[in-house]
């Protein structure tokens, strides 16, 4: 099965620059060599890992601009500092007994700057703010952002490339789990297969191969609707990341903000083609093979699986709700009301951004927030109203 062809003119997708095309060709050559070395086929998870994270080539490890209006997508922190301000209220509650903040995949550094500024205003700064970032380009951008925005707090910030052996405090992951490469498993006319990538002529193509007995097949049999043809993601790597973080926790909370569903909605009978998308210049495309190395690849998060992974490592679910409900619980509307005259241009810009964060038609419902804790008092602020833990 070939990746879906795209008409760039009809979709109004900006054409990549000459330099970008050269880079994508290098990534394509790297992928083709890997496919040849593997005997002609690699899984979509392996493909995504290469095009996203291969040193010097991958989307997140090369130097292309990814965030903001001139990138490929805009994340919540880039919309308004009030997102970090609301998160800071929840973080401050958890840090009441001390600890540090570890932010996974900190993007531009915008969320770190907003959160640190809000925590400083509450006299609730962490001992350290650790930023787990493997991209040298993004580390440079994050440092520049923090130096510009919160220079007095820069001495509390450290960059790390691997998870700490032990931690206490808060792990914060905003739009991180969706970028962990997922496998796609399909049941076609009663036969189980895994979707992958092969070479067809001069181009990459999607191709399925039989799926052997193992953990992926066992999960698919448990989660997929029975009998019908069906394809969807399974993400053992994301499960393993959450479990590893949980095992290293002495006391604290992990807060995951991402787009996704609990398992019953994720593996709904009508969602039968999965959720993997390529993101390029603010277009979401259903072709994962589009411009390797230039497009982001993401899948929605199965929050039930994330919760199970944390619980298996000894943590407890403290709350699960929509992003809108979490931010309202954490006081984002009160923060908005403190932004000056309601009719002013700055207030209206901020109100528009908050509307995007809260609206069910924008980010408010599709994005969810999951918190898991160890040795933390119950009653987290972000889940005091509208908790949906029972749906996990």
Could you read off the pLDDT of 28-51 as tens digits, one per residue? Answer: 999 999 999 999 999 999 999 999
Mean pLDDT on 196-217: 95
Mean pLDDT on 142-151: 96
Reply yes or no on whether the pLDDT at 333 is more than 80.
yes
Can you give the pLDDT at residue 326? 98
11 pLDDT tier (thresholds 50, 70, 90): low
What is the residue-averaged pLDDT of the chain? Answer: 92
Three-state DSSP at 259 gives strand
Beta bridge pairs of residue 101: 129, 170
- pTM of the entire structure? 0.93
135 pLDDT tier (thresholds 50, 70, 90): confident
Three-state DSSP at 104 gives strand
Between strands 249-261 and 301-302, the pairing is parallel
Q: Decide: 171 and 102 in contact? Cβ < 8 Å.
A: yes
Residue 167, both tokens: 């931690």
Q: State how far the Cα of 236 lies from the Cα of 232, in Å rounded to an integer.
A: 13
* CATH, domain range 1-182+234-392: 3.40.50.12710
Q: Decide: 353 and 306 in contact? Cβ < 8 Å.
A: no
The domain locations on the chain are: 1-182+234-392
CA–CA distance from 320 to each of 24, 107, 246, 367, 388 (Å)? Answer: 39, 24, 17, 11, 5
């Amino acid at each position: 099965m070939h990746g879906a062809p795209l008409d760039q003119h009809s979709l109004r997708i900006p054409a990549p620059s000459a330099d970008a095309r050269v880079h994508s060709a290098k990534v394509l050559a790297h992928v083709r060599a890997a496919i040849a070395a593997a005997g002609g086929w690699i899984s979509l998870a392996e493909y995504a890992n290469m095009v996203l994270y291969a040193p010097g080539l991958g989307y997140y490890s090369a130097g292309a601009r990814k965030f903001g209006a001139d990138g490929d997508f805009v994340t919540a922190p880039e919309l308004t500092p009030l997102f970090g301000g609301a998160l800071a209220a929840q973080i401050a509650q958890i840090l009441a007994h001390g600890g540090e903040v570890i932010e996974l995949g900190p993007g531009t550094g915008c969320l770190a700057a907003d959160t640190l500024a809000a925590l400083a205003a509450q006299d609730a700064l962490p001992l350290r703010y650790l930023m787990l970032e493997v991209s040298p380009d993004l580390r440079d951008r994050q440092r520049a952002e923090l130096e510009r925005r919160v220079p007095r707090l820069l001495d509390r910030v450290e960059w790390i490339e691997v998870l700490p052996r032990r931690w206490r405090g808060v792990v914060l992951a905003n739009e991180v789990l969706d970028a962990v490469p997922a496998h796609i498993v399909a049941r076609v006319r009663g036969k189980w297969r895994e979707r992958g990538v092969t070479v067809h002529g001069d181009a990459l193509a999607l191709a399925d191969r039989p799926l052997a007995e193992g953990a992926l097949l066992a999960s698919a049999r448990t989660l997929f609707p029975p009998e019908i043809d069906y394809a969807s993601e399974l993400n053992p790597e994301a499960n393993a990341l959450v479990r590893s973080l949980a095992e290293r926790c002495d006391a604290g909370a992990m807060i995951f903000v991402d787009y996704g569903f609990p398992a019953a909605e994720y593996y709904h009978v009508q969602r039968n083609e999965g959720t993997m998308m390529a993101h390029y210049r603010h277009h979401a495309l259903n072709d994962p093979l589009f411009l390797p190395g230039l497009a982001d690849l993401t899948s929605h998060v199965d929050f039930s699986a994330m919760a199970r992974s944390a619980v298996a490592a000894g943590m407890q679910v403290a709350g699960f709700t929509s992003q809108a409900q979490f931010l309202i619980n954490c006081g984002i509307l009160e923060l908005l009301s403190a932004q000056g005259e309601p009719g002013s241009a700055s207030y209206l810009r901020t109100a528009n951004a908050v509307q995007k964060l809260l609206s069910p038609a924008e980010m408010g419902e599709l994005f969810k927030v999951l918190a898991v804790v160890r040795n933390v008092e119950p009653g987290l602020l972000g889940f005091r109203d509208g908790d949906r833990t029972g749906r996990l």
